[in-house]
Amino acid sequence: MPTPYLSVILPAYNEEANINSGVLADLIGYLKTQKFTWEVIVVNDGSTDATQSLLLGLFQKTRGIKLVNNPHLGKAASIITGAQNSSGQIVLFTDMDQSTPISELEKFMGRFNSGFDVVIGSRTKREGAPLFRQVLAYGMVFLRTLILQLPFRDTQCGFKAFTQKSARAIFPVLARVHPLKIIDYPTTNPGFDLEILYLARKLGFKIAQVPVAWHYRASRRVSFIKDAVGGFKELLLVRYRSLTNQYS
């Protein structure tokens, strides 16, 4: 089978409502209209609702889709698993709820053609986002600039793409420093996006930011206090790993 141009990674944890709303069907419908070849890799993160059965029903009707079943390990592990199972020349991860629509990928292509290795979405307007989400976002901007010197306006947007070369360099390192651990609670891994970008810069890859559309989708997995504390701890952990050469 020829190498696809694009691999799309979709973490999925209890996504029954989103799948039933048609977002995955819309994503696949969009890809079918494109001239490039593609694959969709859905990583089922130990879902306890009807996610797996819905995915199996959809996959039986659609070519180019892979389903990978993990125990519940969290979003970061799902993205790493998806990247390790991808074969595209460009590897994109995005959210199942499509808060940033798959069509925004079109804005990335010129940057890859210009020689960038990693292209990340930047949410210029956070339409509908509650105040606590905005406070959390601006707090993370200050802390990541202070501690990690990351020069990016928005590190947390769940819409990021990589050349095959950069993906194959970045994600094996992340898999090594993140031992698999089964969990029993929802998690968004707030420090994971920071770590991806910190490691990409450390490895010398060129990173571009591109403004993308984004629409707030309410999530039971986001907790202001828990995510604020967790994000700060993970940010410090990234710095510690770097100082102790764990990314080497």
91-95, 107-111, 201-205, 226-230: segment of lowest average pLDDT:
226-230
CA–CA distances in Å: residue 118 to residues 68, 101, 110, 210 = 24, 18, 12, 11
Domain containing 123 — which CATH number? 3.90.550.10
For residues 146-173, give the mean pLDDT: 92
Q: Are 202 and 244 in contact (CB under 8 A)?
A: no
Instruction: Evaluate whether residue 205 is within a structural domain.
Output: yes
Task: Place 141 in a pLDDT band, splitting at 50, 70 and 90.
Answer: low
pLDDT digits (tens, 9 = 90+) for 235-247: 889 999 999 999 9
Residue 110 placed within a domain:
yes
Q: Is the pLDDT of residue 190 over 80?
A: no
153 domain-assigned: yes
The pLDDT score that the predictor gives to residue 151 is: 87
For 142, the domain range is 6-243
The tens digit of pLDDT for each residue in 68-126 reads 999 999 999 999 999 999 999 999 999 999 999 999 999 999 999 999 999 999 987 65
Does residue 29 lie in a domain region? yes
Q: Hey, how many other C-beta atoms are within 10 angstroms of the C-beta on 146?
A: 10
pTM equals 0.89
Tell me the pLDDT band of 216, cut-offs 50, 70 and 90.
confident
Of 198 and 126, the one with more pLDDT? 198
Q: Decide if pLDDT at 227 tops 80.
A: no
- Domain count for the chain, please give it: 1
248 inside domain: no
Instruction: Please check whether residue 18 is in contact with residue 91, taking contact to mean a CB–CB distance below 8 angstroms.
Output: no
pLDDT-based confidence at residue 2 (cuts at 50, 70, 90): confident
